[in-house]
Structure 1
Amino acid sequence: MAKEQISRKWLDPTDPLNLTVRGHIRAMGFTDFDMQRPVIGVINPWSEINPGHWHFKALGEAVKRGIWAAGGFPLEYPTISMCEVFHNISTLIYRNLMAIDTEEFISSVPVDGVVLLSTCDKDVPAQIMGLATANKPAIIVTGGTRLAGYYEGETVACSTDTQKFSWDYKAGAIGEAEMREVEMNGFFNTCGACGVMGTANSVQSIAEALGMTLPGCASIPAVYAQRLHIAEATGIKIVELVEKDIKPSDILTRPAFENAIRTLMALGASTNLVIHLIAMARRAGVYLTLDDFDRLSRETPFITNVKPSGAYTVEELYRAGGVTAVMKEIAPLLDTSVMTVTGKTMRENLADARVRDRNVIRPLDDPFSTDGGLRIVRGSLAPDGAVIKVSAASPHLTKHTGPAAVLTSRVQEDIDRDLAHITADHVIINRYMGPVGAPGMPEVGPSGLPRHLLRQGVRDMVRITDARMSGTSYGTVVLHVAPEAAVGGPLAVVQDGDMIELDAANGKLNLLVDEREIQRRLAAWQRPAPKYTQGYRALWIDQVTQAPDGCDFKFCCEEDWLLKR
């Protein structure tokens, strides 16, 4: 049911006290006719340091065309924009800053609804966190995937395939000339998200699975005309949402988040979504735990043959029917009665979806795996839990016991020197890379393989870390170990040669050292000094929660929610 528009309180011409606000809008060339319409904010993080958002000028104009056509008054607003490769520190640090930026814009200015544009790893979660807290009618337009590349007759995509070339280069199998050719001609052909089911395409997929985008939005390639079409349609739809007063709180419910987790599992999507979904859900008043992910993973088949867990790119997934078709396939497992930004239920949105290529999207009763791609592991090395993406791991390593080899540096030359003695059976420990320690949990989880093993053809080993891993990466990497080393988790006191047990299927991760010895080491351990003591990074270190709590700020969390842990 429609209610009085917020913008009327600011723009009502019968109130003389609105003179200043109306006058400032007139100063930009707008008229009384424009100010009579519902005001729609367009949050546009266009940036020249983010190829995932490079096309957002055109996308924003398409959104505004739709808003004007539907009788709304669009006002565009920028926020920060993040691409992992352009920052000298993990961009997870800036997710919370962008969430605050987004929330405060929506809450504090006279907009009746908002359309938010985003593509990349931290941008989509930040926007959902912000819009959930502000709770005005909102729709997301995702930016889409970049097109696939071609190299030596094969379809390739960054960054999954670039990782393979990087390993080969470090092993001496290829030289600088071939690496340069890969850069110039192979992988980086258009703007948009990296073309695999990495974190960027995962968060776009989850935005659709939550019901926060129009159906089909997640998988359309960035440079396709259909991307502009759906942006314009979103501009039209947001005016309807304002009229009907459909808000994020009507959409971001517990069933919607469980739908998103099941979609995550069916896609073999990024481990980073565990952190992001917990943070998004908490902002919406929904309490998710690692156990929810483990339970839903065990109940949801993995059906999508997309890199890094499969053979195809997201562009090819789009041609196969996209995320919408994946959701249609797993619909018996979803709560399709949930409300979405279309003003319709998920069931209605999925009615016309169909799978167009069974090589890419398998039937629910004939999956690639009978359960999802993620496992939660716990034990004496990770009392509060850790995550492993088994769909991207080497099957023979998901149950493994071996001696620890502790990294002291992530510089390749140091790794080659310090780990020159290890074999492929060792377990590499990469610590002090968590939310507080690094700070910001950089995506360094897969690092650590020394050149002498690479030259032997080794491309995977068990690695355990309190860091994250790019969703485009692969390997047997146990991530997000909690508590992290920097706050005194057992990871901090692992020593070279300690035996480590990983049993992903049974959810175990143990330091096979007597408990009394672990406690003796922890009692002698000294917490390292924080890397930053002033500025925003110091605020992050002081306020960030651990990975199982979503790495949000403590001052953004309800106290009761934190006490549940």
Structure 2
Amino acid sequence: MEYRSASIMQGAEYANVRALYRSSGFSDEEMKKPIIGIVNSFNEICPGHANLRILTERVKQGIYANGGTPMEFGTVGACDGISMGHSGMRYVLPTREMIANDIEAMVEAHKLDGIVLIGSCDKIVPGMLMGAVRLNLPAIFLNGGPTLPGRMTENNPYGGQYIDHSIIQQSEGALKQGLISEEMFNWVENNAVPTIGSCAMLGTANTMCCLAESMGMSLPNSATIPAVYSRRYAVAFETGKAIMELVFKNICPRDIVTKEALTNSIRVNSAIGGSTNAVLHILAIAYEAEISLDIFEFGEISISVPHLVPMIPAGDCTLLDFYEAGGVQAIMKSIRSCLDKQDITCNTKSLDENLSICEIRNKNVIREMDNPVHQCGGIAILKGNIAPAGAVAKPSAVPSSAHHFVGSAHIYESEEDALLGIRNGEVVSGEVVVIRNEGPKGGPGMPEMYKAMKLLVGMNLGDKVCLITDGRFSGSNNGCFVGHICPEAADDGPIAYLKNGDMIEVDLNARTIEALNVDFEQRKKETSYEYNRNVKGYLHHYKRTVSSSSNGAIIPNRD
């Protein structure tokens, strides 16, 4: 078999290519082997990526051991936590498309034969998977692993013995209400995140790493290994060996990431109570793989599986508990009867083969279908006159008392205004806080309303106030919230025409979101609405080209 890279490695006409590789120290023998790109998103900013240099070296060793030549290149890797709650968050979702484009450009420019994708955090993982299915060359994903959780045995708001990064913002709200002391607040800040790794709860980072494994793009039992465990480095070596088997057998991402694989991942996301952001990312991966999947189909698939793993913020367990209970393979075994057949995964085995050797080690952490944490699925897609093109909620993280919520609208035109208002005590029990102009175009960049919701939870308003927005939320949010409202305000959606005092009904059981006794068509005739942020640079281009969040907030890239 002649590999792709050989087309620019042979003959006098490509002597310049061989000379350039020799100038970097590559030997003739190395240039005759398949050339494997390693996409390393390491940087010194993102704690979820702090160990990626070491992992990359182990991947290289695995590639060499199985007959390939590794060549590393980098891409961006923003930290959602550090970007949260200020103007920098507008850049984070747009990096997803940057990463996919980086991968495409580097792989095609240099005619690489396969790629190993190495990352851990929120937009990096889906960006890498999008690039892989777009290119459709042999590829495999490796994550850096979650952090170990902090330990808090007394007055733990999650009810267990562990805490994570998301408790800090919640504690700010509690501090403002006088519910905790400043000494306690400082202790939480200093003890919530004891090691490197992606955040210990089931936020978007760990959700997407778990879903990469569930769709077959990561080795079985790899997603949940803590970042500081030695097993993480062994899996990196095994990943390097595995990419060579994919190259030798010409198994490509679209052989693995089928409609059935994505459907299975949606069910896994529902079972584990994964991030609302998974909706954006699964839809975007489907687009790149040229698979037909829409937001309402996502919703119908989600409700077919109940919530089975009580992970923070929808329970008291962490990724460490989930790992020790058996991780992704174990939850897939628990819902095996609901899963579609998948003929091939990145270890060249079928899903059935992989699950046949899997064990569920703790049935209190990974429940059976007849003993769910919540009967509802992890994700619900809502529809109504506020969101005719859909909205996203996470019933597993919403207190049951707030699954049906009716309240009067308290409107903010931006996240910044909302944070100021909440901190000043403007929001009261019984209100529906509306934050608009924060969608993919309006933001631009669709920032997370994480801080606003966490403040409300910390102020003991999590089930007494509902927050709705055309922006999005973190996977670590809890309380009563609905995001991704479409069309967004910047697309002249109904949310733009809501007024203070309008009565809004959110019913998670009926999957509806309605403004009561409001005729939006009449309001549009009577009212002009315009809110515009002047942006430049990449956000200018992003704002002009990004699609609706109900389409995955993709930037279309084919005719």
Q: TM-score with structure 2 length normalisation? A: 0.94
Match status 1:8 vs 2:6:
yes
Q: Label 1:147 to 1:419 Cα distance change in 2 as closer, same or farther (>3 A).
A: closer
Q: Which amino acid aligns with 1:160?
A: S
Q: Deviations over 1:329-349 (max 9, x none)?
A: 111111233311111111111
Give every structure 1 segment of 4 or more consecutive aligned residues whose post-TM-superposition deviation is greater than 4 Å: 416-419, 448-451
How large is the Cα RMSD of the aligned pairs?
Answer: 2.0
Q: Distance in 1 between matches of 2:174 and 2:192?
A: 16
Q: Deviations over 1:23-64 (max 9, x none)?
A: 111111111111111111111011011111110010000100
Match of 1:402, SS?
A: strand
What corresponds to 2:546 in structure 1? 544
Match status 1:151 vs 2:155:
no
Match of 2:449, SS?
A: coil
> Of 19, 34, 38, which residue of structure 1 is paired with 2:34?
38
What corresponds to 1:524 in structure 2? 527
The alignment of Structure 1 onto Structure 2 pairs a total of residues equal to 547
Match status 1:26 vs 2:22:
yes
Deviation at 1:503, TM superposition (A): 1.2
Match of 2:348, SS?
A: coil
Q: Label 1:412 to 1:249 Cα distance change in 2 as closer, same or farther (>3 A).
A: closer
Q: Label 1:474 to 1:450 Cα distance change in 2 as closer, same or farther (>3 A).
A: closer
Q: Distance in 1 between matches of 2:367 and 2:105?
A: 43
Q: TM-score with structure 1 length normalisation? A: 0.93
Q: Distance in 1 between matches of 2:60 and 2:455?
A: 52
Q: Label 1:419 to 1:450 Cα distance change in 2 as closer, same or farther (>3 A).
A: farther
What corresponds to 1:69 in structure 2? 65
Deviation at 1:126, TM superposition (A): 0.2
What corresponds to 1:265 in structure 2? 270
What corresponds to 1:135 in structure 2? 136
Deviation at 1:411, TM superposition (A): 5.0
Deviation at 1:319, TM superposition (A): 0.5
Q: Deviations over 1:361-395 (max 9, x none)?
A: 11122222334111111111111010110000011
Report if aligned partners of 1:157, 1:194 keep a CA contact under 8 Å in 2: no
Q: Distance in 1 between matches of 2:324 and 2:226?
A: 10
Q: Distance in 1 between matches of 2:265 and 2:153?
A: 37
Match of 1:383, SS?
A: coil
Q: Distance in 1 between matches of 2:424 and 2:177?
A: 17
Deviation at 1:249, TM superposition (A): 1.4
Q: Where does the alignment leave 5 or more consecutive residues of structure 1 unmatched?
A: 559-565
Report if aligned partners of 1:374, 1:390 keep a CA contact under 8 Å in 2: yes
Deviation at 1:518, TM superposition (A): 4.4
Q: Deviations over 1:259-289 (max 9, x none)?
A: 1100100100000000110001110011211
What corresponds to 1:124 in structure 2? 125
Match of 1:47, SS?
A: coil
Deviation at 1:7, TM superposition (A): 1.0
Match status 1:54 vs 2:50:
yes
What corresponds to 1:563 in structure 2? none
Match status 1:92 vs 2:85:
no
Matches within 5 A, 1:90-489: 90=90, 91-152=92-153, 155-184=161-190, 186-408=191-413, 410-411=416-417, 414-416=420-422, 420=426, 423-444=428-449, 447=452, 457-460=460-463, 461-489=465-493
Match of 2:390, SS?
A: strand
Q: Distance in 2 between matches of 1:86 and 1:402?
A: 33
Q: Label 1:272 to 1:497 Cα distance change in 2 as closer, same or farther (>3 A).
A: same
Q: Label 1:423 to 1:528 Cα distance change in 2 as closer, same or farther (>3 A).
A: closer
Q: Distance in 1 between matches of 2:209 and 2:537?
A: 31
Deviation at 1:502, TM superposition (A): 1.1
What corresponds to 1:497 in structure 2? 501
Q: Which amino acid aligns with 1:428?
A: V
Report if aligned partners of 1:402, 1:500 keep a CA contact under 8 Å in 2: yes
Q: Which amino acid aligns with 1:102?
A: I
Match of 1:200, SS?
A: helix
Deviation at 1:454, TM superposition (A): 6.6
Q: Deviations over 1:100-131 (max 9, x none)?
A: 11122222213111111010010010001111
Q: Which amino acid aligns with 1:136?
A: L
Deviation at 1:450, TM superposition (A): 8.2
Deviation at 1:412, TM superposition (A): 6.8
Q: Distance in 2 between matches of 1:89 and 1:400?
A: 29
Deviation at 1:302, TM superposition (A): 1.4
Q: Greater shift after overlay, 298-307 or 440-449? A: 440-449
What corresponds to 2:514 in structure 1? 510
Match of 1:92, SS?
A: helix
Q: Label 1:148 to 1:98 Cα distance change in 2 as closer, same or farther (>3 A).
A: same
Match of 2:36, SS?
A: strand
Percent of aligned pairs with the same amino acid: 36
Q: Deviations over 1:495-538 (max 9, x none)?
A: 111111111111211111342x5433465323333421x42110
Report if aligned partners of 1:419, 1:450 keep a CA contact under 8 Å in 2: no
Q: Distance in 2 between matches of 1:110 and 1:290?
A: 35
Q: Distance in 1 between matches of 2:165 and 2:338?
A: 31
Deviation at 1:21, TM superposition (A): 1.1
Report if aligned partners of 2:462, 2:480 keep a CA contact under 8 Å in 1: no
Q: Distance in 2 between matches of 1:308 and 1:276?
A: 20
Q: Distance in 2 between matches of 1:132 and 1:21?
A: 27
Q: Which amino acid aligns with 1:478?
A: V
Deviation at 1:419, TM superposition (A): 6.2
Q: Distance in 2 between matches of 1:116 and 1:553?
A: 21
Report if aligned partners of 1:405, 1:419 keep a CA contact under 8 Å in 2: no
Q: Distance in 2 between matches of 1:417 and 1:234?
A: 47
Report if aligned partners of 2:387, 2:494 keep a CA contact under 8 Å in 1: yes
Report if aligned partners of 1:139, 1:213 keep a CA contact under 8 Å in 2: yes
Report if aligned partners of 1:445, 1:479 keep a CA contact under 8 Å in 2: no
Q: Which amino acid aligns with 1:235?
A: G
Report if aligned partners of 2:419, 2:452 keep a CA contact under 8 Å in 1: no
Q: Distance in 2 between matches of 1:450 and 1:228?
A: 38
Q: Greater shift after overlay, 333-342 or 307-316? A: 333-342
Q: Which amino acid aligns with 1:123?
A: I
Match of 1:299, SS?
A: coil
Q: Which amino acid aligns with 1:529?
A: N
